Structure 1
């Protein structure tokens, strides 16, 4: 327990921390509707909007085949939208429906490579003879799914790709950006696109067509494997205007981490785009781990362990973590994941993303993230997040076990990772509150009311509290 005497001895430390107020930012919550059918998202549009989401990230809108989730990331053609999760008309209906509810649509885009179809053909003409014949046989339908171009011809050939070869050194920038992503057993990998003028023009037309449909954001898959030159050629000022662009650059830490220094920092500095905040995620994992300290979450950005507030997409889980053997070690246990969500949805800075799937890893994880988007605690955390937008963040107290901070006068967040409860005495003269107002915890329902200089907040063990002014 932290009693009043202990608090007074340590007050100088916490008050000095409170002097640093993180600048506020508008950061609406993204729902990653991972591998959802477009029609399902449309059917649930009202529910999604009512839950407080302001953006929805959808499966890659392109031509792909196969029911496996990873098949969505193996493009056969960028010139039309047609795959098992939906087609162009269904995506347009989705965009129109969500836009009418004030929710924007983000598209997952794949620009680094094309589908690995070496098992059935040796050439690099895309989409290839088989698909062109399918187009011809179903011309009316296919033409209705067209985004741009002449679907009677291939749009890529062998000269549009880097020379074949698999990445073998993941800390060699040249290998990572010019060689192929390959599996084992002699797999020849995903053909890696060159940034010649033809490829760039096709990718620009693709993105512009999606913008014309009403897409307001692009998540760039595998952007770690693209050069900044290629990225900047494709994402012109016109394409970037009015849209949010962020990339996936997986690292295991922030400043000082080799992956960060080789890949994420150069990407951020060289493109001006945003990214998944893997440095912050590493800080969260470290803080919540056995022997870790919540001190590291007071202001991780000050030490290069979180991205700038306006560049970061924050998260507690992404689709790559459970679906790839090499990243599964990053899965938090369910309690720690709930604490992590309270942190990213309670803090100021970054755009939080909530992952919700259909049990793609059920054999390993059960259906842990199925319908996660509408879990009661997540919806209540989003309600807190939306209500405190525009209010700065001020740390009131912390130690190895807990972190307590306020969001202007509007709300207070407390996270206790340890088993034992924490009592914390707050000096209402040092930290401004609205007196005689009820602050109600959106997670457990308890409340406090400020009516004197000192009041006590209790954080039960292994739990979070998010008190919101009523």
Structure 2
């Protein structure tokens, strides 16, 4: 039984290691389902590629080799899952810190693991895990984050009543009922944000922060109330930490998911979020019948989040791995063009997804495996890091193309159509410097400006990211 006298339990507090200050560059590598030891081993390579943050999969007690097992927590008090344990997690943070890269942690606080197939009670982590702790007490106490591993952490009264979500447009229903898989599935036990649960979740966050974590991605935030989110992310936790949530929408202003969930989340918490509105706008602009003019200032029409609250992307793990979202996968060339746009534009924190072919069974053939080090991605990050902090001005746009500059430091051109396009630019009016090379980070093309009018050529179905030398 859980002890009746519930006190905040204290365990080991792992001190943060001093790390190099982050540069102005801000690109996040989503090392999806990577083992912590692999991230550590590749820390120098990651830094050399220009990434400044790495988001890793949830770090707590979870089981099962499938990727989705990481999103079904059993216990917050230890890091113990197929990706590594507490020692591996700490070693990874230190390896990244040593090369000036920050660690972001993915967290799941809406629910606990669905173990209805295994047992009927809602005590977590449950008898089987507690027995495992007892049989290996020395080891588990050595990797303990906090608490008393001889007792359960969560009891049946810490959950909402069972029942599956049926009305997906009703925030109350989405936030108080369970995520279920159908065919009689009883769903993921939905946590009630009572004082005890909030205290344990805050203890977990504080311990990760003490270890050196500087950012949190909040999974399934659509299913949590703003009360719950604000209770766990108090000012002490948020100080010096980047927090962003996942609210999947299929558009910006006017889309029901955006209006019912994303906007209230952002306004009610002040947190950042995945920029699904911008992603939908890119899909529309790049698609058949769309216009690249839609990307001139999408935020002005509610089709992009404010830059200070946006995490931008061309793919997230949910899109290829869940059948209901796969329709959003971009054509490979369109994805390349979308990456050039998010890494070339001003606004938002870009995130690059890189997996280990977890969607092989869906026929994706390793499309995003090792994407983090692909040549085009490296060139785009080089451009982004070099112009970060400079302004953005659109020079030219049409249904087929957009050409914009980052003050005088760089020029980005994207052409979604099949034929090449010549774009003439008034270099005096647009303040581009003469007698300097503007070298494309994606190819061998170099533009040397010597007169007022200069022609930039955009190849068909291609992008150029010219950086002033």
TM-score range, shorter chain: over 0.9
**What are the residue-to-residue correspondences of 1:114-125 with 2, within 5 Å?**
114-125=112-123
RMSD: 0.9
Report the 3-state secondary structure (helix = DSSP H, G, I; strand = E; otherwise coil) of the residue aligned with 1:365: coil
Counterpart-to-counterpart distance in 2, 1:26 and 1:249? 27
Counterpart-to-counterpart distance in 2, 1:329 and 1:356? 19
> Is it true that 1:398 corresponds to 2:402 in the alignment?
no
> Is it true that 1:460 corresponds to 2:459 in the alignment?
yes
Counterpart-to-counterpart distance in 2, 1:160 and 1:216? 28
Counterpart-to-counterpart distance in 2, 1:26 and 1:168? 44
The residue number in structure 1 matching 2:366 is 367
Counterpart-to-counterpart distance in 2, 1:252 and 1:323? 17
**What are the residue-to-residue correspondences of 1:57-456 with 2, within 5 Å?**
57-363=55-361, 364-456=363-455
Report the CA distance between 1:172 and its aligned residue.
1.1
Report the CA distance between 1:408 and its aligned residue.
1.0
CA contact (8 A) 2:441 2:466 kept: yes
| Pairs aligned (count) | 446
Measured against aligned partners, the alpha-carbon deviations of 1:427-456 in whole angstroms (never above 9, x if no partner) come to: 011100121000001111111111111010
Report the CA distance between 1:206 and its aligned residue.
0.4
The residue number in structure 1 matching 2:5 is none
CA contact (8 A) 1:411 1:439 kept: yes
CA contact (8 A) 1:33 1:59 kept: yes
Report the 3-state secondary structure (helix = DSSP H, G, I; strand = E; otherwise coil) of the residue aligned with 1:164: coil
Counterpart-to-counterpart distance in 2, 1:445 and 1:88? 45
Counterpart-to-counterpart distance in 2, 1:396 and 1:55? 32
Where does the alignment leave 5 or more consecutive residues of structure 1 unmatched? 1-24
CA contact (8 A) 1:247 1:276 kept: yes
Report the CA distance between 1:26 and its aligned residue.
5.2
Counterpart-to-counterpart distance in 2, 1:356 and 1:63? 23
The residue number in structure 1 matching 2:20 is none
Report the 3-state secondary structure (helix = DSSP H, G, I; strand = E; otherwise coil) of the residue aligned with 2:51: coil
Measured against aligned partners, the alpha-carbon deviations of 1:173-199 in whole angstroms (never above 9, x if no partner) come to: 111100000001100000000010000
Measured against aligned partners, the alpha-carbon deviations of 1:17-40 in whole angstroms (never above 9, x if no partner) come to: xxxxxxxx9561000000000000
Report the 3-state secondary structure (helix = DSSP H, G, I; strand = E; otherwise coil) of the residue aligned with 1:216: strand
Greater relative CO (CA pairs within 8 A, separation 6+): 1
CA contact (8 A) 2:109 2:201 kept: yes
Report the 3-state secondary structure (helix = DSSP H, G, I; strand = E; otherwise coil) of the residue aligned with 2:454: strand
**What are the residue-to-residue correspondences of 1:7-86 with 2, within 5 Å?**
28-86=26-84
The residue number in structure 2 matching 1:21 is none
Measured against aligned partners, the alpha-carbon deviations of 1:320-346 in whole angstroms (never above 9, x if no partner) come to: 000000000000011000000000000
Counterpart-to-counterpart distance in 1, 2:423 and 2:167? 50
Report the 3-state secondary structure (helix = DSSP H, G, I; strand = E; otherwise coil) of the residue aligned with 1:373: helix
Report the 3-state secondary structure (helix = DSSP H, G, I; strand = E; otherwise coil) of the residue aligned with 1:425: strand
Counterpart-to-counterpart distance in 1, 2:334 and 2:254? 25
CA contact (8 A) 2:107 2:217 kept: yes
Report the 3-state secondary structure (helix = DSSP H, G, I; strand = E; otherwise coil) of the residue aligned with 2:358: coil
Measured against aligned partners, the alpha-carbon deviations of 1:121-179 in whole angstroms (never above 9, x if no partner) come to: 11110000110000000111111221111111001001100000001111111111000
Instruction: State TM-score, norm by structure 1.
Output: 0.94
Segments ≥4 residues shifted beyond 2 Å: none
The residue number in structure 2 matching 1:13 is none
Counterpart-to-counterpart distance in 1, 2:30 and 2:210? 22
CA contact (8 A) 2:78 2:145 kept: yes
Counterpart-to-counterpart distance in 1, 2:98 and 2:28? 17
Report the CA distance between 1:256 and its aligned residue.
1.1
